[in-house]
């Protein structure tokens, strides 16, 4: 069986522009919705979502360190007394808020269900917590020096 080498030309039909408030009649193929003026890029409606807040699932730690430093942080989940190590890198300020057992949102919700805090689940989903920790300058005493271990990368 031989296939034709030329494609079939699409028929132009009389269409009505679907841009809000236009309604101009134009000739176009079956799929065209807008007149030639409203096909331009400046008339395209773009929906952009707001970027997610970083502090909902993480914490911001403002630190002045120039070397990689390890610090011990408590888990911020209610009813969890675990502590975990966080490596503080220079010029990086966003770090995990929860211990390794509760980094996953499903595991956090499961933990709160087990301790019977359904109200905290709704609150966590609704607004999310934002935590910022500020360290003092290098010359001053760092908050809780016993937990800070310096390491050279």
Taking the C-alpha atoms of residue 148 and residue 151, their distance in angstroms, rounded to an integer, is: 10
- Structure confidence at residue 101 (pLDDT): 92
Q: Are 18 and 34 in contact (CB under 8 A)?
A: yes
For 116-150, the pLDDT digits (tens) are 888 888 877 776 544 445 554 444 444 444 444 54
User: What pLDDT sits at residue 67?
Assistant: 94
Domain range list for the chain: 13-43, 54-150
Choose between 144 and 57: higher pLDDT. Answer: 57
What pairs with residue 88 in β-bridges?
A: 69
Q: Write out pLDDT tens, residues 22-53.
A: 989 999 999 999 999 999 988 887 788 888 88
Tell me how many degrees the CA angle 61-139-99 measures, rounded to the nearest 5: 25
Instruction: Indicate the average pLDDT of the chain.
Output: 82
pTM as predicted: 0.51
Kindly provide the b/e burial profile for residues 30-51, where b requires at least 16 CB atoms within 10 angstroms of the residue's own CB: eebebbeebeeeeeeeeeeeee
């Amino acid at each position: 069986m031989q296939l034709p080498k030329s494609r079939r030309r699409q028929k132009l039909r009389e269409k009505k522009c679907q841009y809000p408030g236009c309604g101009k009649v134009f000739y176009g193929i079956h799929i065209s919705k807008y007149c030639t003026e409203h096909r331009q890029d400046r008339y395209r409606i773009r929906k952009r979502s707001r970027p997610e807040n970083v502090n909902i699932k993480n914490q911001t730690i403002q630190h002045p360190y120039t070397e990689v430093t390890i610090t011990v942080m408590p888990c911020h989940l209610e009813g969890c007394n675990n502590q975990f190590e966080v490596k503080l890198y220079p010029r990086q300020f966003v770090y995990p808020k929860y211990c390794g057992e509760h980094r996953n949102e499903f595991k956090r919700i499961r933990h709160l269900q087990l301790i019977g805090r359904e109200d905290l689940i709704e609150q966590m989903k609704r607004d999310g917590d934002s935590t910022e920790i500020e360290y003092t300058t290098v010359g001053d005493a760092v908050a809780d020096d016993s937990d800070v271990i310096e390491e050279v990368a």
